[in-house]
């Protein structure tokens, strides 16, 4: 019995010694990048590269709300945890002014010198640095860079602007779009739901009458309006501003999950 006790104590000390000798693996953290290229709007770039980054990773650009910042967006959305699961990279831009100049003449024009150009250059930097999959570069806003971003999910925002006028001469395909808006959103207003979907339906060549209306999808009391394979509007009944991020559903829309 004494021998067994001594053996247990010896093993305990052995493991304790080894744990001190071998440092714990450092987990991925949110890191600022200052040299990502032209930055006409003076936006700060923060990036999250997961420990298990894919060999040709996708990229998700996640924008904070009008009164938020990159750290808040990092902590309040599930994208970092999902990046560990699926191997993509997350970019968290930060506007020094808080609110984005999403509707300014500069940001509504391709390479117009606004925040959208700075954010596009962040995505280009990450794509080049990490040899990203060009078909899996996504964001959480709709903008003037359909050549770069292949899909967007807009939470509690809207725009009736015709993105064809944002990039004159562009002849490629336009990104797929999913729009979330809450019925109790008094900041954006419910009218933005129909006007944004109508604008994108025109761009994508869809009718404004939904092909499908699916209740309780992706969660209870949410209704999904399917206008085509590349356009969906999701009405969140009883929800205010902003609509909570639906990470698992986002992964399906962007093609990281089935």
Read off the pLDDT of residues 183-203 as tens digits, 9 standing for 90 and up.
999 999 989 999 999 999 999
Q: Where are the beta strands (DSSP E) in 87-214?
A: 89-94, 137-139, 151-155, 176-182, 212-214
Beta-ladder partners of 59: 89, 137
Q: Tokens in use for 123? A: 């995505």
- Which superfamily is assigned to 26-253 in CATH? Alpha/Beta hydrolase fold, catalytic domain (3.40.50.1820)
pLDDT at position 56 over 60: yes
Q: For 111-159, how does the pLDDT look when each residue is reduced to its tens digit (9 = 90+)?
A: 999 999 999 999 999 999 999 999 999 999 877 899 999 999 999 988 7
pLDDT in the model for residue 2: 44
Q: What is the mean pLDDT of the segment spanning 81-109?
A: 91
pLDDT in the model for residue 102: 75
pLDDT at position 15 over 60: no
What's the rounded Cα separation, in Å, for the pair 196 and 27?
Answer: 40
What's the rounded Cα separation, in Å, for the pair 105 and 112?
Answer: 8
In 3D space, the residue among 188, 183, 192 whose CA is nearest the CA of residue 235 turns out to be 183
Asked whether the bond before 195 is cis by omega within 30 degrees of 0, the reply is no
Q: Answer whether 97's CB lies under 8 Å from 67's CB.
A: no
pLDDT at position 17 over 80: no
Q: For 21-48, how does the pLDDT look when each residue is reduced to its tens digit (9 = 90+)?
A: 433 334 589 999 999 999 999 999 999 9
DSSP for residue 38 = -
Residue 99 binned pLDDT confidence (cut-offs 50, 70, 90): confident
- Kindly list the domain boundaries of the chain, sorted by start residue: 26-253
What's the rounded Cα separation, in Å, for the pair 166 and 240?
Answer: 30
In 3D space, the residue among 163, 131, 154, 171 whose CA is nearest the CA of residue 61 turns out to be 154
């Amino acid at each position: 019995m004494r021998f067994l006790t001594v053996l247990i104590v010896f093993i305990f000390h052995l493991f304790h010694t080894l744990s001190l000798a071998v440092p714990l693996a450092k987990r991925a953290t949110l890191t600022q990048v200052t040299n990502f290229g032209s930055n006409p709007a003076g936006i700060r770039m923060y990036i999250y590269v997961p420990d298990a980054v894919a060999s040709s990773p996708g990229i998700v650009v996640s924008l904070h709300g009008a009164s938020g910042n990159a750290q808040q967006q990092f902590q309040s959305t599930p994208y970092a945890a999902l990046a560990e699961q699926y191997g993509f990279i997350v970019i968290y831009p930060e506007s020094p002014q808080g609110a984005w100049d999403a509707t300014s003449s500069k940001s509504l024009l391709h390479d117009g010198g606004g925040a959208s150009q700075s954010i596009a250059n962040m995505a280009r930097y990450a794509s080049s640095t990490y040899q990203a999959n060009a078909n899996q570069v996504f964001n959480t806003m709709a903008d003037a860079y359909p050549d770069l971003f292949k899909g967007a999910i807009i939470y509690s925002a809207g725009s009736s602007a015709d993105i064809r006028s944002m990039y004159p001469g562009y002849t490629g395909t336009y990104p797929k779009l999913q729009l979330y808006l809450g019925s109790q959103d008094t900041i954006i207003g419910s009218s933005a739901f129909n006007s944004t979907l109508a604008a994108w339906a025109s761009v994508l060549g869809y009718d404004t009458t939904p092909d499908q209306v699916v209740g309780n999808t992706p969660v209870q009391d949410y209704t999904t309006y399917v206008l085509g394979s590349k356009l969906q509007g999701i009405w969140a009944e009883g929800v205010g501003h902003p609509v909570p991020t639906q990470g698992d559903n986002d992964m399906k829309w962007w093609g990281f999950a089935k």
